[in-house]
A = this chain, B = another copy of it.
Amino acid sequence: MEYTENLQIEKSETSKINSVNFNKLDFGRVFTDHMFVCDFADGKWQAPKIMPYQSLSFEPSARVFHYGQAVFEGMKAYKDDNGKIFLFRPDENHARINKSAARLAMPEFPKNYFFKGLEALLKLDSEWIKPGVGNSLYLRPFVIATEPAISASPANSYKFIIICSPAKSYYNSPVRVLIAEEYSRSADGGVGYAKAAGNYAAQFYPTSLAQQKGFQQVIWTDANTHKYLEEAGTMNIFFRVNDKLITAPNNDRILDGVTRKSIIQLASDLGITCEVRQITVEEIKTAARAGELKEVFGVGTAAVVSPVSAFEHKNELFEIPELENSYGQLFKKSLLNIQHNVSEDKHGWRYEVK
């Protein structure tokens, strides 16, 4: 099927931008003036639209409310000091939302609509993207099943939407994490590798238990044995033992993160050994006891790199001392510099929005 419809644009008459304090932004609560919406009906994606950011009307029987047939993406737009706008490896997000959609029996979204929508939206809401390394506009493409019928089967109608939320430049204070021993995030043969809505709500309760114990996040282990370290709520995870990095391989339980993949490449560029293999909780505890566990950090679009300062497993707490030459900080800086057009982009990851 060819998708060549023109994009209809309905501009907002006023802007909310002056009411927003860009120095004090809570993640994901403020949205820009416009949004992109495209409906799937009669077996195809209909003409896409950009319209003022607004509430939408849904039947209470819409399938998304009952069966969680919903997938999403998370990406960011950056501005350099000359006002140029960039995305970071957006092809990856387009491919991944379609991979997620396929696993949830949802239609794939055409590439040219995805890019046309993003670009038009970013140009319209350009003022919302602040320059300065660390500032960004978080972009949330998502697809939801709208068909008003509560039989437990895939829907015939969907909405693909993109909303945008400014994200402030922040210093990530290190997080303390709990390693999962009982709860799990996803099953073999399940939907863990997809950015499926239901994967996230399933983590809220175990995470709240961890928070009550003073940990901000849970590091998930495999559901079968709880012996292997997998990923955090919205981040993949790296361990540094002496000068070697280790990260878990992709499988059907783990999200194939764009940040993780980019860091594996950056490590290789810098001559840092990075092993992609199963990691046991035991080996990390042993390394920590021997003083060989130098760093642990989570990586993802929202937080970029988030250092872990302590972890607990089986009631044993391990503090990870702060480090002078942190790989995490190095990768964070390298990524941000590429994203903001400050440094060379030798892998062609930057995508300029013209």
Contact = CB atoms under 8 A, between A and B. Distances in A.
Interface residues of A, number: 69
A301 interface: no
A59 B59 CA distance: 14
A188 B223 contact: yes
A198 B68 contact: yes
Contacts of A201: 67-70, 104-105, 145, 191, 196-198
Nearest to A162: B60
Interface string A45-69: 0000000011111111100111111
Interface string A116-158: 0000000000000000000000001010110011111110000
Contacts of A287: none
Given A67-B197, A165-B150, A223-B187, A28 B205 contact: no
Query: Can you tell how many copies of this chain the complex includes?
Result: 2
A189 interface: yes
Contacts of A145: 201
Interface in A65-82: 65-70, 72
A169 to B, nearest CB: 17
A29 to B, nearest CB: 5
A70 B65 contact: yes
A204 B69 contact: yes
